[in-house]
Structure 1
């Protein structure tokens, strides 16, 4: 018996001989089986089964016992998807489908859709894509963006015992002004020396988020950043919740909050889920836009200062978010979180009814005529400059300490927007 031939050829042979085999006499069937065995290298029972069973499709059209369906979406629509996704700041599929009706007219008006791959058919296909399809098509790009960092939170003095706790199981707030705050260290692979930090403050009800980068974690810089970000929220702060880091749990910050009648709370030690909202912002706001390089010069700190207002404008006015509203029980008895419809933080602020008409008019003027794609390009320009300044020294520091910097390489993939 000769060696086996590819599956495609075996199916061609059996499909061609199927009709002849079924009409042949017993003697002729035996002869046909011998020929098929000699030609394909199959066993006798396998050859008989393929000749008498249903016609099998060509392996090129067959995957896991399923016939391949024709493509629903063209290659042009997939290219358009990646293009728009990059301009949006790479949201997930569920946010993408909500953002698309708001972004497409702005992108078209600004000329960001003037490309050969953009057509009425491609746009129509893009608009018909489901969130699951979008996530599936964008999965390869996302897989190259898994980044990791290190924590710099240190225990504070005994002052923390006088500050109330906030836990993940507490009743969620319903009125805007409950702020979670945290800092992210731009130290690269090592804590050695002085390096920049970014303070993140996010409202738990509306999702409104503001960032500011500071020279280090000294209370002087923390207070300046908190006071600066306090003025950027469109509503008054009522609660300031932080982790147990000494940059927040100190007398200077406590006094500043008391003077403004802002309650101070803290999470439990080593329970990051107590601050789940701001911890998520550390990843998809701070690390997504400022990466994991080391920033320790005044020029880099200045660039971070230019970066965050642009990120804030895009994030709060053009990027929707979802909020958990309740639990539901599935048919098999499991608890499942139920989320509301995605809305931008600005829309949530408007729906809250906290602002006067004059305040709404004043804030709306910030985004009149703003093209969100221009914000993305300005953000990318700052990011490229940050990488030029910090990449070499960060990699040199890692090499001198025999550290693996492979997790930083995917950050370059975030800057492919043209």
Structure 2
């Protein structure tokens, strides 16, 4: 095999423009390792070879096919086949069916490391929680999700996500299996399959903290301070309406809504709250001052990062009931 072709192979088949400047030095390096034998004549030919001549030679050689990993051999391929593609029915009536999603806080640029908000919502009751994390590493997102579920006020039976690698991974699969939870995923590029959490993302994330870039631990601390108060306010004080009937007339869908109730009240009405903790939750909700919570949120948002340390401690969190605490220890917010 010609020396030039051996050098071309050693450098992973580059074009003549990339190969020509390093042809001689790479050939000498290969000669030092005994891969080629450089004679005076070979050295002279390599030194005198023009880039055009090199390009003509390369065009005659067979280049290996494009390198790729077959889809069925990728690490996530078997996980995707294991997690069914489904979505909750619009009239799902069993509390504990959760949709999860990540919201980026990159300020319009995906370069570098920045914060994300993990958003979780029950499609039946509307109960929701949020936790901010720095980056979207699988372990960090999994720890935030576990924290939310251990503090959920009633049993959870299902988790539904999009197809992002932060969710479609072995950590979440093991977690759901260990806790007896159903795990499903959306159809690719179908945001409506996760419509409930997308709605909460707009209403309780974007309209609250906006579209700015948050990319430091201090930013994450501030976001979680805001969410600690916001989650209490949204779940125990803010009423929401829910679709109870749909009728299609041609291309138009007519919807009928029920009376507005707070997510916590919907959980009570659906008998989702365990009997032994109903009194605690009821008394806790009655003890809240909605106006105080509203003022606190306005103050935190107005102060920005300075409010993370100035704000009083969040209200006591109710007892955990979402998953078995004997199996899973709650992790503190960063």
Q: CA deviation digits over 1:232-252, x for unaligned, max 9?
A: 221111010000111000001
Aligned to 1:203: 122
Q: Closer, same or farther in 2 for the Cα pair 1:254/1:329, shift >3 Å?
A: closer
Conservation of the 8 A alpha-carbon contact between 2:87 and 2:184? no
For 1:207 and 1:263, locate their aligned partners in 2 and report how far apart those are by CA, in whole Å.
Answer: 19
Q: Is 2:93 the partner of 1:166?
A: no
Q: Paired residue for 2:176, among 257, 268, 272? A: 257
Q: CA deviation digits over 1:222-278, x for unaligned, max 9?
A: 111111110222111101000011100000111111100111000001100111100
For 2:278 and 2:186, locate their aligned partners in 1 and report how far apart those are by CA, in whole Å.
Answer: 33
Gaps of 5+ in 2: 1-73, 308-334
Q: Paired residue for 1:271, among 174, 190, 194? A: 190
**Structure 1 or 2: larger helix share?**
1
Normalization by structure 2: what TM-score? Answer: 0.65
Aligned to 1:280: 199
Q: SS of the counterpart of 1:295?
A: coil
State the Cα distance separating 1:388 from its structure 2 match: 7.4
For 1:351 and 1:372, locate their aligned partners in 2 and report how far apart those are by CA, in whole Å.
Answer: 21
For 1:180 and 1:248, locate their aligned partners in 2 and report how far apart those are by CA, in whole Å.
Answer: 11
For 1:319 and 1:171, locate their aligned partners in 2 and report how far apart those are by CA, in whole Å.
Answer: 22
Q: Paired residue for 2:302, among 376, 384, 387? A: 384
State the Cα distance separating 1:209 from its structure 2 match: 0.4
Q: CA deviation digits over 1:89-133, x for unaligned, max 9?
A: xxxxxxxxxxxxxxxxxxxxxxxxxxxxxxxxxxxxxxxxxxxxx
State the Cα distance separating 1:374 from its structure 2 match: 1.3
For 1:202 and 1:335, locate their aligned partners in 2 and report how far apart those are by CA, in whole Å.
Answer: 24
For 2:207 and 2:259, locate their aligned partners in 1 and report how far apart those are by CA, in whole Å.
Answer: 24
Conservation of the 8 A alpha-carbon contact between 1:156 and 1:244? no
Q: CA deviation digits over 1:192-243, x for unaligned, max 9?
A: 1111110000000000000001111111111111111102221111010000
Q: SS of the counterpart of 2:117?
A: strand
Aligned to 2:149: 230
Aligned to 1:351: 269
Q: Closer, same or farther in 2 for the Cα pair 1:237/1:357, shift >3 Å?
A: closer
Q: Paired residue for 1:362, among 255, 269, 280? A: 280
Conservation of the 8 A alpha-carbon contact between 1:210 and 1:232? no
Q: Is 2:112 the partner of 1:188?
A: no
For 1:288 and 1:334, locate their aligned partners in 2 and report how far apart those are by CA, in whole Å.
Answer: 28
Point out 4+ residue stretches in structure 1 off by more than 3 angstroms. 332-335
Q: SS of the counterpart of 2:80?
A: helix
Conservation of the 8 A alpha-carbon contact between 1:156 and 1:249? no
User: What is the aligned-residue RMSD (CA, Å)?
Assistant: 2.3
Gaps of 5+ in 1: 1-154, 390-418
